């Protein structure tokens, strides 16, 4: 997203906390050794890509922000990346044991979220997990600006995400909200 290019330095300094770490740690611990994970909206890779790598996963990062990906490549020079929106990213026939999308989907309009989920689902192996964050109420709102840059957020209800995931052969297994009010959805490819 162009907005993240505008705030890349600020974002890199703010995103070093523990948000998402327990959830991604649990996911990584459930994967086989050497699993391939698609990190959608990987940003700088800190802290979530680091968690995956520390657990022995191989990672491919995808982000539409060139500025954030430049920082990612400094942090993890040997991890392959693609600079593209996930809804149209060419994954080159790769398949993954899991995918994460922390803080990404709610930036996409509803129809773009459907395209993104479809693209991710195509790249997942049967039984692969997909962990993502988004809102839990259907609609679109103007969010608080980040470092002066405005963002608009879009989400479905939990039932809306359940239906959307099911349409792409993903079963919603669990949801929860962390102390920072991030809503997590854990789904799994059914076939």
Q: Give the pLDDT confidence score for residue 122 in this predicted structure.
A: 96
What CATH number is attached to the domain comprising 73?
A: 3.40.50.150
Instruction: Give residue 156's domain range.
Output: 2-14+22-189
For the chain, the maximum distance between any two Cα atoms, rounded to a whole number of angstroms, is 44
What confidence tens digit (pLDDT) does each residue in 82-98 have?
Answer: 999 999 999 878 999 99
Q: Give the pLDDT confidence score for residue 19 in this predicted structure.
A: 87
- Strand pairing report for 183-189 and 170-177: antiparallel
Contact (Cβ atoms closer than 8 angstroms) between residue 45 and residue 80? no
Q: Give the pLDDT confidence score for residue 1 in this predicted structure.
A: 65
Mean pLDDT of 8-14: 83
Mean pLDDT of 61-90: 96
- Residue 77 sits at φ, ψ, to 5 deg, of -65, -20
pTM of the model: 0.95
What confidence tens digit (pLDDT) does each residue in 26-51 have?
Answer: 999 999 999 999 999 999 999 999 99
Q: How many domains is the chain partitioned into structurally?
A: 1
Mean pLDDT of 152-174: 97
Per-chain mean pLDDT for the chain: 94
């Amino acid at each position: 997203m162009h907005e993240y290019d505008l705030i890349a330095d600020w974002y890199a300094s703010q995103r070093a906390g523990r948000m998402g770490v327990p959830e991604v740690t649990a996911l990584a611990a459930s994967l086989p050794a050497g699993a391939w994970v698609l990190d959608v909206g990987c940003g700088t890779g800190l802290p979530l890509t680091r968690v995956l790598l520390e657990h022995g996963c191989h990672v491919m990062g995808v982000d539409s922000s060139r500025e954030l990906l430049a920082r990612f490549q400094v942090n993890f020079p040997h991890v392959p990346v693609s600079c593209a929106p996930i809804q149209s990213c060419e994954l080159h026939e790769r398949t993954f044991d899991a995918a994460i999308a922390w803080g990404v989907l709610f930036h996409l309009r509803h129809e773009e979220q459907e395209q993104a989920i479809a693209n991710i689902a195509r790249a997942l192996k049967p039984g692969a997990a997909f962990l993502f964050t988004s809102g839990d109420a259907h609609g679109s709102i103007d969010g608080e600006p980040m470092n002066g840059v405005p963002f608009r957020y879009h989400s479905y209800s939990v039932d809306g995400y359940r239906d959307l995931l099911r349409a792409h052969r993903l079963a919603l297994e669990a949801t929860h909200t962390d102390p920072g009010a991030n809503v997590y959805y854990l789904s799994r490819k059914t076939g």
